[in-house]
Structure 1
Amino acid sequence: MVKSDAVRAKGRHRLFARLLIPYLVFLMLAMMIGWMIYQKTIVLIEKEATESHMNLLEQSKDVLDRRLEELASITQQLAADTRIIQFQPVTNPFNGTNTYRIMDMNKSLYDYKLSNNFVFNYYVLFKNSEMVFSPGASYSYEHFFQRVANFNQMDSRAWSTLIANQFHTRHMLPAQSVMMEGLPYSMLTYLQSIGYPGNPQGVIAVMIDQKEIQKLFQGLHISDGGWAYILDNEGKIISSLSPGMELDKVPFETKRLIGSKGVIEQELDSKPMMVTYTKSSYNGWTYLVGQPTAVVLGKVRYIQKIIFTFACIFLIAGIFVAYLLAYRNSRPLRNIVNMIMEKTDALSQQRDAIGFIGETVSGLFQNNHRLQSEIEQQVPLLRAAYFQRLLNGQFVSSRDADVLLKHVGLDLQGMSYLVTIVHLRGFDNGYSSDLLEELDMKRVLAKEMLRRALDYDGFVYDIADDQFAVLFIYKADQVDSYKALVEQKLKETRATINNQLKLVSVYGMGSVCDSLTGISRSYEQAREALNAQIWNNKEGGLWYDELPTDRNHYYFPQDVETRLIHLAKAGDQTEVEHLLDELYRENFEQRHLSMSVMKLFLFEMWGCLVKLLPQMELDQQTVYSRMAVLNGSNDSYDSMRKNYESVRDTFQWVCEIANENKKSQNVELIETIIALLQISYMDSELCLDKVADQIRISKVYLSQFFKEQTGINFSDYLESLRMEQAKVLLQSSGKTVNEISEYVGYSSSNTFCRAFKRLHGVSPTVYKKLNTQKYG
């Protein structure tokens, strides 16, 4: 009796443990799922925080790039100013009429800092005269570098060397301490030389207060041990955005910066740091920001603490609730177990109570149910394998097909069959894990919609991620109306898939067959019809017997090829694109070429590109690597269309290279023309024909080219150049109007006077008198 009570007590404890353990397992499972979700959430939040930080840095970089582009525009306008150009050769600025030039220069220079707060001030430094000009003021080198802008690291001699020995184009001097009119500043200096490469005549120096740059990056919180720098394309420090940081040393190995932008986590001085960087495509500068990881991910760490706290509370509360539920639910079961144990010999066998009940009451039922479930699970696999063999034509005789048909639980004898292939568009725009998951879901839903539409008239079988084979089954008396029945069901399904899944479906339908072994032929016919429908980029369905028959000749005559080559060499992208579209419509849409003929056509197109390689000195490997795709591609209309798109992209690449070559030549040519006009404008015989002869181009091309590049006519530019020089002479020289007209290139003073009055509203004599009184 004592032993029986001990066994019962032990059984009650086991029963309680059996009920408690599932609750605890469920609780731990929920905790594990929550932990995985938590991990993904933290990763996403960290990614969002770093991306937000990167976006802020990118925005600041873009603003600074636009500011620098404004400086480039300002310096280009100043470099093209006639007064600045004419003052370049002056060596004695205070001799004769040069004094009036200085006064005119002081008056005419526009004060850009009034409209652009990024510009602290700008100065034009001339090499020959050693004069410095700014809006409303002029200085000698010695006075300027001692009283106006005293650079701690450069004196007037160093500046003279910098101006005379190098031609600076959009060059930025790193931030350095400068005494501007007695006040200390940290300045960046933007340099743009005047004159010509190899013969600099001076420099335009734009002063930028480093505080203005720091304002652009003020959204980047670099306190609490952070730092930020701007590096040029050689890795040298242009500006430090962190007050108090050293300018000659970056606390990070810049060699680790890979790519145009990124985020790197590293311990610097035993402190976890997050380094964010981005490189400018405008000037190659690198923007580098380092912040303590705890600062950047402060919000993430706060969320982590909250989640950990609530997880611990949830775990303790869950264990307590699981204990209560297990105790309450075990009470009625314990009574049943005690009753069964009293009437059986389970005590001697030490059997588990719940296991004993399961074995004696429902053992046979469970075993039978298990066997039935296993058989039912195998049936879909057997049917799928059977249909695959049917579609692929792997049955030698109808008898073998009929035997296996009964084995999978189907009776399709004496029926007529038709195969249709359904293609879902929307699965070929690139893949990601989220997109694949979404497309899998849509594919399953689309398959289910097809099954519901078929009802008992057929079966659906997967043949690809975006394609289904549909086997329609009809009785013999329905064969005459099978087309209408098939089209009706597919039309209904197509509308449902389009409305609910936002996918476009395309169908290819084969012919009717009367035997199971003929299904493979109907399948191949449906595939060919579907490929033709995809090839033509059409929606809906196409029957095999509607396919065109003439598919053996492609269109690409010799004159079209010659024209295409000439257009590509000329860089005419519009005409090349138009011609390629015509070839596409003719060969892909109208002719419906067979696969072998289409390959011949594509090889012919690639051969046209190969002919261009030696003529334009292009990179042959680029074309050969793209052409190699055709050999490895599968024989499908979709792969042929994609290969033609590669041909189109390669022609686009050829046109872009041709245009780039033309553009570089155009810049050199316009500089040559303007330099010639600057030197020879005094020649009265200088005209469009003479300039065209000197540079050996036609005058028609010269006229059009000059208007395209400068925005004004050749004659208007020459007249403006002569008039600007005439104004200078009228204001500052003692020459007569006749002498001035002859000096600036006019053969007749009357012609000069009429042109001057037309442009300035007064005659040269009146203009000279007014300016003499003004400066006299």
Structure 2
Amino acid sequence: MSYLTSISVTQSISIENGITQLEKGQEILERRMAEVEGFTRQLAVSQELNVLMNERDNETNVYGIWRAMENVLTFGQTNDFLQNYYIYLANYDLILTPGSSYRPNHYYTDFHYTDLSLEEWMKEVLDQTHRSEIKPLSSYVSRGQQTSVITYMQSLPLDSFNNSSPAVAVVVIDEKMIVGLLSSLTDRYGGWVHISDAQGNTIALKGSGVSEMAKMTSDPGFDQSKVSQFYENDLVITTRSDTNGWVYQAGIPRDLLLENANKIKKMSMLITGGTLLIGLVVGLILAYRHSAPINRLLSVMKEQFGRDEGASRNEFDFLSGNIADMITKNKLLESELNRQLPLVRDAFLKRLISGEFKSRDEIHSAAEQADIRLHQGTGYAGIVQINGYGSMDNVEVLNELNASRLLLKQALSDVGVDILMTDWGSDKVATLFFSTEEEAGSDQTVEDITQTMENLAQVMFNEYRITIQSGFGNYFTSVTEVSHSFDQANQALEYAIYTNQRGVMWNSETQIENTTYYYPLDSEQRLITTIRAGELEEAKRIVESIMIQNMEQRELSMEMKHQLIGEMKGTFIKLLDQKAFTEYDAIENVKRRVIEIGSAEPLESVKSDLYEIMEELCGLIANKKKDIHSQIIKQIKEYTAEMYSDTELTLYRVAEQVERPEKYISQLFKEYTGVNFSDHLIKVRMDQAIILLKNSNYTVDEIATRVGYNSSHSFRRAFKRLNGISPSVYRQSDYE
């Protein structure tokens, strides 16, 4: 009875375990294949790749190819199925891989199917339109190495329906990677696994041959609809994918399956014919044997959670306590994922305001994901600025701004109006007022928003002494127009700051003053600060923005144009009179060039002159920074060479000596020398140690002390790590 029961139990447990492992491998494989399909979809929306596919130039766009491959190089880092892929561009007749690019015939030389000639490969793979097609298991040669692979093929773009497409993405997946997902079955039982597609073509096979699989499949005695059955000497487990129709089969040898049952049979015979003493011994052995997994689990958990905790409690309490702790942490993780929802909403609003969405459907789908109601998709976009923070150049100011923004958003939430908001820069909050069908576009809505913002400004000032200013764009009639309305709100805010007007500024109110030039104080201050920092590209962007506002969005009179040019010249004169530039000999020549800019010149010509002047000024700043940094590095090296024997010499001491922050000199030293300061200090000490080893009679311990080590053991270890041998061996050798 014991033997028969053990056979039944062992068989059912083995079948259950086999099915579980097979289904787990199936799930992982399908997820990996889904990632492969997702990878091709990412390629389909790659702007760089789309540009390459649509180019018809005879010349190869080398930079474009480099950029396209640079953007997809990281795709294979999280999925080993994407280690070997290529993209064929038909217009270039070029194959792109993560490491290089090839002509098809050159690629075929290193990578090819043994059953396909070059012409057949090009016809079946490169010149055909594929829609998530999978080429079954085929013999393959990769740089002279023989293997077997399956091939995933997808034409680009995804809507290609002709016989040929602009590009084809091909992922070559090694059979070893696929069967590796099911290695627990073959390694544990020594059996076999077989994966075939819906047409019966082999996808992966390990532990058996194709002919044996074909024989089993065609055998009338083998029922492929059964999940488990015995066939010849194997227990065959079969599952079928609902996703792609693939068939997963695993075979477990019968003798290994019943190995434990045979042991139980022998044990039963010994117990029946033995004495009570033998029975007790066997009972103890079995007790130890069956408690081993629990003991191993206990050992692992003690290693992970610490042995001291378990010392005061029994093993059951220790296990139950830590398992409960893991469940609690899992719930905390789930809670943390729910806390990420505000980040998703914030990202959606930033994309909506920036105009990154391509269609209304995409916007509504993203809004649903972020759990945001868009009502009728109509309303007003606005921006609220916290006043008094024109120069944000230190941590204290930024921290204060963060607190102010939180207070502002909390006050906005408390006004009782359905409003969406997100941070926009350090001192601004972007807002969206969506209107209902009854309120759409009415004057009352504008009045309500104005009244709400005025109440908000009063609350912020009365309770927190924070002053705010806000601008609003025109009414948007669709969610696709939100970004345009927000740009108008930004212009309204800039106009309010420029004209020093308080309260709420609507974009429609700024249009009556279109004859004045645009050159707000904050733009001037940012331009001066940017040039002083040597940031040429940012300075050019600021000047370009000012020119666009005055050349494209305004019609300036000649007098206003002269005043604008005079204001900008004045900005540069003020900048050149600052101490940061007066010490340069060439600054008078630069000042003369600024003065010589004529008020009657076209604004485009003025912009070009200012660009040249900014390039020269930023170049002076960059050279000055370089000289200062070189001097600091020199000071650090000199001080290290002087104080290397001091055991208390640290980066903090060096920072005190050169009067710079510790983190600053650490980054600076690494940037300019290519090594960390700690490595440089060790090198200096080891160089001095070598001199003492060669030219003195000091012992190794004395030398360790003289070069700044408290412990001779630490000195020996550092010396051997740097020089490959110990100090004693070095002294006795002929090393120089």
Q: TM-score range by the shorter chain?
A: 0.3 to 0.5
Normalised to the residue count of structure 2, the TM-score between the two structures is 0.36
Normalised to the residue count of structure 1, the TM-score between the two structures is 0.34
Identify which of structures 1 and 2 has the higher relative contact order when contacts are C-alpha pairs closer than 8 Å and 6+ apart: 1
